[in-house]
Amino acid sequence: HSFILRDHNKCVLCGICVRTCDEIQGVGAVNFTFRGYATRISAFENKLLQESACLSCGECVVRCPVGALLPKNGAEPTYEVKTVCTYCGCGCGIYLGVRGGIIVGVRGDSSSPVNQGNLCVKGRFGYQFINHPERLTTPLIKRNGRFEEVSWEEALDLVASKFQEAQEKYGSEALGGLSSARATNEENYLFQKLLRSLGTNSIDHCARL
Ligand code: SF4
Ligand code: SF4
Ligand code: SF4
Ligand 3 neighbours (beta carbon < 6 A): 85, 87-88, 90-92, 115, 119-120, 122-123
Q: Is 55 in the pocket of ligand 1 (CB under 6 A)?
A: yes
**ipTM associated with this complex:** 0.96
Q: What is the CATH number of the domain that holds 64?
A: 3.30.70.20
Determine the pLDDT at residue 86: 85
Number of the ligand closest to the Cα of 20:
1
| Atom of ligand 3 minimally distant from the CA of 108 | 1
User: For 195, phi and psi rounded to 5 degrees?
Assistant: -65, -40
Determine the pLDDT at residue 140: 96
| Atom of ligand 1 minimally distant from the CA of 20 | 7
What is the Cβ-side half-sphere exposure of residue 36, based on CA atoms within 13 angstroms? 0
Write the secondary structure of the chain as one string of H (helix), E (strand) and C (coil): CCCEEECCCCCCCCCHHHHHHHHHCCCCCEEEECCHHHCEEEEHHHCCHHHCCCCCCCHHHHHCCCCCEEECCCCCCCEEEEEECCCCCCCCEEEEEEECCEEEEEEECCCCCCCCCCCCHHHHHCCHHHHCCCCCCCCEEEECCEEEECCHHHHHHHHHHHHHHHHHHHCHHHCCEEECCCCCHHHHHHHHHHHHHCCCCCEEEHHHC
Determine the pLDDT at residue 73: 75
- Domain check: are 18 and 49 in the same one? yes
- Domain check: are 15 and 63 in the same one? yes
Q: Dihedral of CA 44/48/54/59: which sign? A: positive
Q: What's the domain range around 173?
A: 140-208
Q: Is 62 in the pocket of ligand 2 (CB under 6 A)?
A: no
Instruction: Give, using CA atoms, the residue closest to atom 2 of ligand 1.
Output: 57
Q: What is the CATH number of the domain that holds 84?
A: 2.20.25.90
- Domain check: are 151 and 109 in the same one? no
Q: What is the whole-number distance in angstroms between the Cα of residue 66 and the centre of ligand 2?
A: 7
Single out the residue in 71, 96, 123 at which a domain terminates: 71
User: For 18, phi and psi rounded to 5 degrees?
Assistant: -65, -45
Give the number of domains in the chain. 3
- Domain check: are 198 and 167 in the same one? yes
Determine the pLDDT at residue 129: 87
- How far apart CA 31 and CA 156 sit, in angstroms, is 54
Ligand 3: which of 25, 88, 116, 125 to mutate, most ligand atoms within 8 Å of CB?
88
User: For 142, phi and psi rounded to 5 degrees?
Assistant: -85, 120
- Domain check: are 65 and 89 in the same one? no
pLDDT < 70 stretches in the chain: 208-209
Closest alpha carbon to 95 in 103, 69, 61: 103
Single out the residue in 53, 71, 89 at which a domain terminates: 71
- Domain check: are 17 and 61 in the same one? yes
- How far apart CA 199 and CA 103 sit, in angstroms, is 42
Single out the residue in 105, 131, 157 at which a domain terminates: 131
- Domain check: are 66 and 83 in the same one? no
Q: Is 59 in the pocket of ligand 1 (CB under 6 A)?
A: yes
- Domain check: are 144 and 202 in the same one? yes
Determine the pLDDT at residue 208: 64
| Atom of ligand 2 minimally distant from the CA of 15 | 5
What is the Cβ-side half-sphere exposure of residue 167, based on CA atoms within 13 angstroms? 14
